[in-house]
Amino acid sequence: MTTSSKPTASSAQPPASVSTEAIAAEVDSLWRLFESRRTVEFGWRQQQLRGVRSFFEENSDRIVAALSDDLGKPPFEAFSSDVGAVCAEVTLLLRHLPKLMRPRKVPTPALNQPATSWVYPEPVGPVLTLPAWNYPFGLAFLPVVGALAAGNPVVLKPSEMTPRSAEVMLDYLTRYVDAEAVKVFEGGPECAEALLEQNFGHIHYTGSAVVGRLVMAAAAKNLTPVTLELGGKNPAYVHASANLEVAARRILWGRMMNAGQVCLSPDYVLVDEAVSSKFLDAIKQAATQFYGRDPQSNPDFARIVNHRHFDRIVSLMDGAGDILVGGETDREARYIAPTVLTNVDDGHAIMHEEIFGPVLPVRTVSGPHEAITFMRGHPSPLAVYVFAHDRATAEHVLADTTSGSAVVNHVFTHAFNPHLPFGGVGDSGMGRYTGLSSFDCFSNMKAVMKTGSFPDISALYPPYTDWKLKLVRRILK
């Protein structure tokens, strides 16, 4: 049964609805504010970023408590992924903001001389952010701070599935930022639909591919650019040359963090048959080291967000394979034990649908060729993880698979590097953000060329004589 430190978030009252007319009026006010050019100024951007950081610093205990209520998150995971990650992002953007805002000089070819060429970053207008529920603050504020740094007003619609977290945002955020430029809407799908009917400068969505397609279709009506972070089935391949104990610990940690409700989690493992027994022994040992013999009473293991998702995951587990580790469930407590499955049928739904829970199927392969073939038979994931000390094997897998990102000998640590853009490809999403890439994501990178009145080259103008054609052919080789 659940403990008092992990109450059921689904007991919260549903959020009050907001009329479409009220939403339209708020978005119109953001466009008027944007046209006033207030948000373009460096001082305004700096003030908003500092305000967001103060919001997190002064309310960190409140945020961690909300995450415990909504998801049963351990304080370590809550702080590192939903508080610390955002504060670090703000610090990075504040440090680089003057340089990011400056026009960027680029080369000018001989044909255009005499001239100079620049890329001018400019704000795009109000940005709509629709984050997922699994990291209610992290996935909400990483795009928000990027949009603010780029000089845009923001509309944030937190997920209705994490009501305590949404309540904190609604009640406290605008005390720290420009309340005329940052709007928080609380509501369910009808609120999101009403927001998507409005015109925005950019839409950022994190969630399922099914809803991502709906977001993209709605954005198309206004030709609004979108960034979609959609997840998918991220494979982890364990080659015979890998350090099996380290691979087992890292894969299990990545799968079980936040009870597996992480878009970057390894969704299944492909392990070389020659070392599969040793790997499975290592993963069993790691499970006991991490969570003990009674994971349900372990404060470091989170809970499933609600009963609907609990039922979905349990349904996927049914008949999926042999249980090596875990398998216990408690619906009232929204608890699914850290579970590892073996002898999984390739045709079973668990090998085709994103699990998004603490269940890890393990399948043996004859070697890298079979692993690559298997991975290529599925939609392109958000990430591919390769565990191999043989460099040629790792490079082979990286070269012959397609994914939004990849990590060798670890899982999702690339997300902590602000110099690496984050995003998917194909069914796992489009667009790149986080770190320094967030500024460009929410900016119009305007191409500018500056030239004088002289010389005024007559070869450009009609009549187009033979010698002009010869000249152009010589220059444009």
How many domains does the chain contain in total? Answer: 2
Task: Give the model's pLDDT for residue 457.
Answer: 86
* 76 domain residue, yes or no: yes
Q: What is the DSSP letter of 16?
A: P
Average of per-residue pLDDT across 112-123: 95
Residues 219 and 239 in one domain: no
132-151 pLDDT tens trace: 999 999 999 999 999 999 99
- 176 falls within a domain: yes
Please check whether residues 209 and 266 belong to one and the same domain. no
- Same domain as 185, residue 246: no
- Residue 118 counted as domain residue: yes
Residue 106 has pLDDT above 50, yes or no: yes
Say how many C-beta atoms besides its own lie within 10 A of residue 120's C-beta: 14
Catalytic pick among 77, 263, 354, 441? 263
Is the same domain home to 331 and 353?
Answer: yes
Q: Are residues 240 and 224 in the same domain?
A: no
Q: Is 125 left (phi over 0), alpha (psi -120 to 50) or beta?
A: left
CATH number at residue 276: 3.40.309.10
Q: Does 144 lie in the same domain as 246?
A: no
Per-residue model confidence as pLDDT tens digits over 429-441: 999 999 999 999 9
Annotated catalytic residue 395: no
Average pLDDT for 344-350: 95
- Count of beta carbons in the 10 Å neighbourhood of residue 328: 13
CA–CA gap between residue 36 and residue 79 (Å, rounded): 37
pTM comes to 0.93
Is 469 domain-assigned? no
Tell me what pLDDT residue 5 has: 37
Q: Express each pLDDT in 12-47 by its tens digit.
A: 444 556 788 999 999 999 999 999 999 999 999 999
Domain of residue 149: give its range.
20-230+435-446
**27 shares its domain with 127:** yes
Residue 114 belongs to a domain with what CATH number?
Answer: 3.40.605.10
User: What is the per-residue pLDDT for 12?
Assistant: 41
Share of the chain above pLDDT 70, in %: 96
The answer, yes or no, to whether residue 88 has pLDDT greater than 90, is yes
Residue 177 shares a structural domain with residue 246: no
Q: Using one digit for the tens of pLDDT, what is the confidence trace for 462-473?
A: 999 999 999 888
Q: Is residue 294 part of a domain?
A: yes
Question: Where is the domain boundary, 376, 394, 424?
Answer: 424
Q: Where are the beta strands (DSSP E) in 34-179?
A: 104-106, 115-123, 127-130, 154-156
Q: Does the residue 122 lie in any domain?
A: yes
Same structural domain, 254 and 196: no
Asked if residue 14 is part of any domain, the answer here is no
Q: CA-to-CA distance for 296 and 27, rounded, in angstroms?
A: 45
Q: Are residues 212 and 252 in the same domain?
A: no
- H or E stretch including 449? strand 443-451
> If you write DSSP's letter for every residue of 352-397 in order, what string do you get?
TS---SSEEEEEEESSHHHHHHHHHTSPPPSEEEEE-S-HHHHHHH
Q: Which of 87, 229, 354, 441 is catalytic?
A: 229
Within-domain flag for 470: no
Q: Is residue 125 domain-shared with residue 225, that is, in the same domain?
A: yes
Q: Give yes or no: 87 in active site.
A: no
Task: Kindly state whether residues 265 and 173 are assigned to the same domain.
Answer: no
How would you class 387 by CB atoms within 10 Å of its CB: exposed for 0-12, middle for 13-18, buried for 19 or more?
buried
Rg (C-alpha) for the chain, rounded Å, is 25
